Amino acid sequence: MKEQSCFAKIFYFPLTRMILGGGACLAIGVLWKKVVFDPLLDFLGIEETAATSIKYFLSIMALLLSYYFIFRFYERRKIRELSTKHIFGESLTGFLGGFLSISFVLLILLIAGHFRVLKINTFSTFIPTFTAISLFALGEEIIFRGVFFRILEENLGTVSALGLSSLIFGIIHITNQHVHVLSIVSVILLGSLLGILYTLTKRLWMPIFFHAGWNFAQVFFLSNVSSLSDYEGPFESRLEGSSLLIGGHFGIEDSLITIILLAVLFSMIFYISWKNGRTKKPFWKNMMGGI
């Protein structure tokens, strides 16, 4: 077997692949939006709401294609994590799982008298809001689960990959407004759950759409997600009570109920993944064999 050159060893080193591959995906996705989609839709003079939805949808396609072709040629392999074989079932399961998880937390708060719907608004913002939320979820999942977690899991095993990728996922949310300790704990747990969903399926569809459903439910009911409140949802509602129960200004993700739910879901799916042989040992344990 021909030994790799020094350049090849560096070029194909896991950390290099994460930095170059992830950076290229983001750069190309942003470039398509800024250089092609924005000017094109402005030139066509399409109504603003429709143009926004189209722009986000095209950006989603550009990001997916960028990931596919970059890693198809970089890693010289089939991109099985974007296989369309189970795309419908895993996307639907993921979206409903994320949406119903937040809905479950709000149902508990509603029964306890901590959540009230004040007014129902127009539903006309559904499509642009959904495409925007889907793009943000896709972008984070492509980078954190498709690039970071996948490459880390291949080399360090599932447990280490979950810890490292989720910690980084939590750290990048520190820049959000109103963030505090519970916010980071919640985001790290969410990142761990999304990572183990990838391990369970070995595809990105379920974590992408769980993330989209999770975010969309917050906009749907509260017009707020991870401290970002510049969305218009179909409901005007109010959370009242202790911040430990309803979450702080960061959002419902801060709630202890949400954090407990995330921990339970993660534990269940990790057990299922382990039981079905989907988790990976670190490379050094594989090298040691039965020792």
Predicted confidence (pLDDT) at residue 1 exceeds the cutoff of 50: no
The whole-number pLDDT of residue 154 equals 92
The whole-number pLDDT of residue 283 equals 65
DSSP-based three-state secondary structure for 27 = helix
Give the pLDDT band (50/70/90) at residue 192.
very high
Output the six-digit token pair for 211: 């993330």
pLDDT tens, residue by residue, 127-162: 677 777 777 888 889 999 999 999 999 999 999 999
Question: What's the CA gap between 185 and 27, in Å, rounded?
Answer: 29
Where residue 277 falls (left for φ over 0; alpha for ψ -120 to 50; beta otherwise) is left
Q: Which helix (H) or strand (E) holds 281?
A: none
Predicted confidence (pLDDT) at residue 245 exceeds the cutoff of 60: yes
pTM: 0.89
- At position 168, the amino acid (one-letter code) is I
Question: What's the CA gap between 58 and 38, in Å, rounded?
Answer: 10
Output the six-digit token pair for 101: 């998880």
- Asked if residues 29 and 66 have their Cβ atoms less than 8 Å apart, the reply is yes
Question: What's the CA gap between 200 and 141, in Å, rounded?
Answer: 15
Alpha-carbon 214 to chain mean position: 9
**Residues with Cβ < 8 Å from 273, sequence gap 6 or more?**
158, 196, 199, 200, 279
- Asked if residues 44 and 59 have their Cβ atoms less than 8 Å apart, the reply is no
Give the pLDDT band (50/70/90) at residue 100.
very high
- Residue spans per domain, the chain: 1-77, 84-288
Q: What's the chain's average pLDDT?
A: 85
Give the pLDDT band (50/70/90) at residue 229.
low
Output the six-digit token pair for 113: 């008298």
